[in-house]
Copies of this chain bind each other. A is one copy, B any other.
Amino acid sequence: MSTLFKKLRIHQVFGANTNVGKTILTTSLVRASAQRGKKVFYLKPVSTGPLEDADDNHVNRYTGKYATLISSECLFRFDEPVSPHLAVKMKGADGDAPSDEIFVDSIASRIRHHAKDCSNLAHMYVETAGGVHSPALSGTSQADCYRPLFLPTVLIGDSQLGGISTTISSYESLLLRGYNVDAVVLFRDEYYRNWEYLKPYFAERGIFLETVPPPPPQLANPAEDFLSTDNYYESLVTEDGEIQGIGSVVDHLDTCHVQRLQELESMPRRALDSIWWPFVQHGLVKGGKDVNVIDSAHADFFSVSNKTALEDASSNQSILAPQYDGSASWWTQTFGHAHPSLTMAAAKASGRYGHVMFPQAVHLPALKLAERLIQHGPGKGWASRAFFSDNGSTGMEVAIKMALRAFALRQHPSLKNDEKKELGILGLKGSYHGDTIGAMDACEEGVYTCEWHNAKGFWFDPPTVGIKDGDVSISLPASLTSIPHSESVKAESLTWVYEVENRLHTPLARAYAMYITRALEALKQRGGPTIAALVLEPLLMGAGGMLFVDPLFQRVLIDTVRGRRSGSSSQWSGIPVIFDEVFVGLNRIGMESSGPLLGVFPDISVNAKVLTGGLLPLAVTLTSKSIFEAFLSDNKAEALLHGHSYTAHPIGCEVANETLAMIDKLALSDDWIAAQGRWARDNGQPSSVWSLWDPGFVTAVSKLPQVREVMTMGSVLAIKVQDHAAGYTSQSAQALFNVLNLVPSEDGTLSVAPGGAPFGVHFRTLGDVAYFITSLNTGESVIRSIEDRIWTTLTST
A668 on the interface (CB 8 Å rule)? no
The answer to whether A448 and B274 touch across the interface, beta carbons within 8 angstroms, is no
Q: List 28 A-B contacts (CB under 8 A).
A: A133-B165, A133-B167, A150-B352, A168-B173, A172-B172, A173-B173, A175-B347, A175-B351, A176-B350, A270-B371, A271-B367, A275-B367, A275-B370, A278-B641, A279-B643, A281-B632, A281-B636, A283-B634, A294-B356, A330-B357, A332-B646, A337-B354, A393-B644, A421-B452, A437-B441, A617-B644, A617-B645, A635-B729
A726 to B291, CA, bound (A): 54
Chain A 174-189: CB-based contact to B (< 8 A → 1; otherwise 0): 0111110000000000
Question: Chain B CB within 10 Å — which of A331, A393, A614, A623 has the most?
Answer: A393
Interface string of A341-373 (1 = CB under 8 A from B): 011101111111111111111111011001100
Known: A165-B170, A169-B169. 10 other contacts (CB 8 A): A133-B165, A175-B347, A278-B359, A292-B361, A332-B355, A346-B347, A355-B616, A616-B649, A617-B645, A617-B649
Residue A593 at the B interface, CB < 8 A? no
Q: Determine the residue in chain B with the shortest Cβ distance to A129.
A: B165
Q: Of B132, B139, B391, which is within 8 A of A644 by CB?
A: B391
Query: Which residues of the partner chain B approach A384 to less than 8 Å between Cβ atoms?
Result: 273-274
CB-CB contacts below 8 Å: A83-136 with B: 130-135
Closest to A161 in B: B18
List of B residues within 8 angstroms of A400 by Cβ? 437, 452
A223 interface contact, C-beta 8 A = no
* A348→B283 contact, CB < 8 A: no
| Chain B residues near A423 (CB-CB < 8 A) | 451-452
Residue in A165, A277, A385 with the greatest tally of chain B CB atoms within 10 Å? A165
CB distance from A675 to the nearest CB of B (A): 23
**A162 contacts partner chain B, Cβ-Cβ < 8 Å:** yes
Binds B, one of A52-60, A401-409, A743-751: A401-409
A480 within 8 A of B: no
**Measured between alpha carbons, how far is A295 from B363 in the docked complex, in Å?**
6
Residues of chain B with a CB closer than 8 A to A340's CB: 351
- Give complex CA distance A634, B673 in Å: 47
Chain B minimum-CB-distance residue to A131: B165
| Inter-subunit contact B132/A176 (CB<8 Å) | no
Cα separation A354 to B302 with both chains bound (whole Å): 10
Q: How far is the CA of A372 from the CA of B602 in the complex (A)?
A: 45
Q: What residues of B have a CB within 8 angstroms of the CB of A454 in the complex?
A: 421, 454
Is residue A487 within 8 Å, beta carbon to beta carbon, of the partner chain?
no
Give Cα distance in the complex from A638 to B388, angstroms. 33
Is A615 close to B, CB under 8 A? yes
Residue of B nearest to A172 (CB): B173
Q: Using an 8 Å CB-CB cutoff, how does the interface string of A233-272 with B read, 1 for contact, 0 for none?
A: 0000000000000000000000000000001000110110
A421 in contact with B278 (CB, 8 Å): no
Q: Which secondary structure characterizes the binding site on chain A?
A: mixed
Asked if A600 is at the interface of the complex by the 8 Å CB criterion, the answer is: no
Tell me if A19 counts as interface (CB < 8 A to partner B).
yes
Q: Check if A283 sits within 8 Å of B19, measured CB to CB.
A: no
Closest residue of chain B to A290 (Cβ to Cβ) is: B360
The answer to whether B276 and A162 touch across the interface, beta carbons within 8 angstroms, is no
A623 to B276, CA, bound (A): 9
A18 CA / B284 CA spacing, docked (Å): 60
Within 8 Å CB of A355, what residues of B? 329, 332-333, 337, 614-616
> Would you call A339 an interface residue if the criterion is a C-beta within 8 Å of the partner chain's C-beta atoms?
yes
**Selected contact of A343 from candidates B351, B359, B361, B435, CB within 8 Å:** B351
Chain B residues, Cβ within 8 Å of A408: 451
Q: Is A633 an interface residue (CB 8 A)?
A: yes
- When C-beta atoms are compared, the residue in chain B nearest to A338 turns out to be B354
Q: In angstroms, how far is the closest chain B Cβ from the Cβ of A164? A: 6
> Which of B173, B450, B451, B633 is within 8 Å of A283, CB to CB?
B633
A436 within 8 A of B: yes
List chain B residues, Cβ under 8 A from A475. none
Q: Please provide the chain A residues from 429 to 474 with a CB less than 8 Å away from any CB of chain B in the complex.
A: 434-439, 441, 447-448, 450-454, 456
Contacts of A296 in B (CB 8 A): 352-353
Is A141 in contact with chain B by the CB < 8 A criterion? Answer: yes
Contacts of A435 in B (CB 8 A): 394, 397, 641-644
Q: 1/0 per residue A310-350: CB within 8 Å of B?
A: 00000000000000010101111100111110111011111
Chain B positions within 8 Å of A615 at CB level: 350, 354-355, 649, 651
Contacts of A268 in B (CB 8 A): 362
Which chain B residues border A139 with CB–CB below 8 Å?
197
Is A637 among interface residues, defined by CB-CB distance under 8 A? yes
In the complex with contacts A366-B275, A617-B649, A643-B279, A169-B346 CB distance below 8 A:
no
A410 within 8 A of B: no
A203: Cβ under 8 A from any B Cβ: no
- Which chain B positions have C-beta within 8 A of A649? 615-617
A630 to chain B, nearest CB (A): 11
Q: How far is the CA of A641 from the CA of B728 in the complex (A)?
A: 11
Q: Are B651 and A346 in contact, with the CB atoms below 8 A?
A: yes
Task: Provide the residues of chain B in CB contact with A645, threshold 8 Å.
Answer: 329-332, 391-392, 608-609, 617
Question: Chain B's nearest CB lies how many Å from the CB of A580?
Answer: 13
Report chain B residues within 8 Å CB of A325: 356-357
A residues 189-212 touching B (CB-CB < 8 Å): 197
Q: Which residues of B contact A456 (CB under 8 A)?
A: 452
A168 B197 Cβ-Cβ under 8 A? no
Contact of A297 among B356, B371, B614, B616 (CB under 8 A): B356
Residue A496 is within 8 A (CB to CB) of chain B in the complex: no
Answer yes or no: A652 CB below 8 A from chain B CBs.
Answer: yes
B397–A437 contact, CB under 8 A? Answer: yes
CB of A639 closer than 8 Å to a CB of B:
yes
A280 touches B (CB below 8 Å): yes
Contact B278 A647 (CB under 8 A): yes
Interface membership of A500, Cβ < 8 A: no
CA distance A285 to B294 in the complex (A): 48
Question: Is A293 in the interface zone, CB < 8 Å from B?
Answer: yes
Minimum CB distance partner of A387 in chain B: B276
A632–B175 CB distance below 8 A: no
Cα A436 to Cα B394 with chains together (Å): 7
For the complex formed, measure the closest distance between the CB of A3 and the CB atoms of chain B, giving whole angstroms.
16
